A and B are shown apart, each in its own frame.
Chain A
Amino acid sequence: MTRELGQVPVHGLDQLAAQIPNGAKIAVPPDYSGVAMALTRAMIRRGLRDLHVVCVPVSGLQVEMLAGAGCLGTVETSAITLGEYGTAYRFQAALKAKQFRMMDATCPAVHAAIQAGGKGIPFMPLRGLLGTDLLKNRPDWTVIDNPFSKDEDPVVLLPAIRPDFAIFHAPFADRNGNVFIGRRRELVAMAHASTQSLVTVEEIRDVDLLASEESAAGTLTAAYIGGIAEAPRGAWPIKLWDIYDYDEPHLKLYGEMARTSEGFARYCDQFVQDQKAAE
């Protein structure tokens, strides 16, 4: 029998990954918010294909690894960067080989379209973007004349983004399936826009986050959450807030191995397929 926190089922990592079908549209956060890397490895083990990943608003190692493993159908993002840890070789190689469709954006455009999704409205206007090749290469975006302006005032409209799943990692869930997200409000926006959120947590605590104003203010309420898995160090080798830092030696190792697809395959054998090595 599956354990439950209130109405939220608690799964193992592979069981949580099994909720995601091929072709699903998933929203993922930037490194500083809490990236569900243990779940990402489970998704690669599952052999998912044709995922549409919406990076809110950028991503790094997560999309790099999904690209290397051939899981991607579409990438919608404002940047893919491993920062100081080098080049996203597998992402770049997969892009060049046309293994997925690329939708380049700018950060506030992703935020605005996700907010529209969360509000259940069809689109959101956004300033900027006029005259860019970003706009030129996004046939899904359109330009209208501001209907409230006396003078000509072109403004870009972005269709709402409604992902199937928001996927992220957080420090803890409470006994009712509420998740502590602190000031990482983009996680709330992602969860509101998505049909459901699949969340991994460092631990489950026997507390009630909604019992005080102080903790409730930093909480994503359980109503949005479709499943939780406990995954200690679940963001590894990425950092989690100020709780643990990037695993620099490991990221260096990744950077060296992922230069070639053969090296990446060896990395996956060692750290993705063999769960014990990573988790």
Chain B
Amino acid sequence: MSFSRQELLITTIARLLQGCRLVATGASSPIPGAGALLARAQSNGKMRVNVLGSVRNDFLCDGGVELFDLAGQGRLDAFFLGGGQIDGEANINLVGAGGEYPQTNVRWPGSFGSGYLYYLVPRVILFREEHSRRVLVPKVDFISSAGPKNDGTYRPGGPIGLLTNLCWFAFDRDKRRFRLDSVHPGHTVEEVRDNTGFDFDCPDSVPATASPDAATLTLLRTRIAAEIAETYPRFVAQVFPDLAAAGE
């Protein structure tokens, strides 16, 4: 069965979430949201998922602070963060680039919950579709949230890796470096190297990111696409046009 770029990202995310009890997704996150809902469907009822912006898949009822309190209590196992810039030590920048803060040349929305969740959620998946030298930089211009250092900071959480359109980098917390773990089918190590602005470890042989099997793709294209459509109808219309057409 052939599959799209987005389907590979969603099924990869679902695999990275295996074993989690509670997963949440944040603003503007259709692919992480679909990945989390897929992982839940495959968990035999062992996983809870909270999709920000959803009604049917948002079980929080104590205001905006509850998600952060869950993380503080150690109950939130996985979350997703992106970045306008991400550097080789896993610092992320959601504020702006160029010029002098706060009058940066480019201004992004802001740090959202990153300055806290990155420290407390054990399995943070960095997710940014665009894999380019302007995003994956040697050093971010502004640290919205800092990559892990062994500096005595209370930090049960942190990144397990970085997923892009080209590959999955695992993050080595002791070395404070990314390691190229798998390259998506149809792409090469050279392509990753050419489009990455930071240094990373690269084994002699890098496997291809595992392709989804037919059963997983069927589940994704039916039940999961319908579930995520509640929150992200435009995404579903674009990525699962058959389902979108059937629903009309």
Contacts and interface: CB of A to CB of B under 8 A. Distances in A.
A172 B56 CA distance: 24
Given A128-B116, A137-B101, A78 B110 contact: yes
A183 to B, nearest CB: 4
B144 interface: yes
A95 B103 CA distance: 7
Interface centre among B27, B107, B144 (most CB of A within 10 A): B107
Interface string A100-143: 00101111110110010000000000111111111101000000
B65, B66, B101 pick with most chain A CB within 10 angstroms: B65
A242 B109 CA distance: 25
Contacts of B114: 106
A129 B119 CA distance: 8
Given A108-B68, A133-B142, A154-B153, A77 B110 contact: yes
Interface in B156-210: none
Chain B contact residues (Cβ within 8 angstroms of A): what range? 35 or more
Interface residues of A, number: 52
A137 B102 contact: yes
B137 to A, nearest CB: 15
Contact of B64 (A111, A128, A129, A242): A111
A98 B28 CA distance: 28
Nearest to B114: A106
A2 to B, nearest CB: 32
Does more than half of chain B's interface fall in helix, strand or loop, or is it mixed? loop
A104 B95 CA distance: 8
B109 A79 contact: yes
Contact of B27 (A83, A129, A186): A83
A102 B110 CA distance: 11
B234 interface: yes
Contacts of B118: 128
Given A128-B115, A128-B116, A128-B120, A133 B143 contact: yes
Contact of B115 (A32, A81, A134, A186): A134
B63 A132 contact: no
30 contacts: A57-B113, A58-B112, A81-B109, A81-B110, A83-B27, A92-B107, A102-B102, A104-B95, A104-B111, A105-B115, A106-B111, A106-B116, A106-B145, A107-B64, A107-B68, A107-B113, A108-B68, A127-B154, A128-B118, A128-B119, A133-B144, A134-B111, A153-B152, A154-B152, A183-B61, A185-B61, A185-B62, A185-B66, A186-B64, A189-B63
Given A58-B109, A108-B113, 17 more contacts: A79-B112, A81-B110, A84-B28, A106-B145, A115-B65, A127-B72, A127-B119, A128-B116, A128-B118, A128-B119, A129-B119, A132-B144, A134-B143, A185-B62, A185-B66, A186-B64, A188-B63
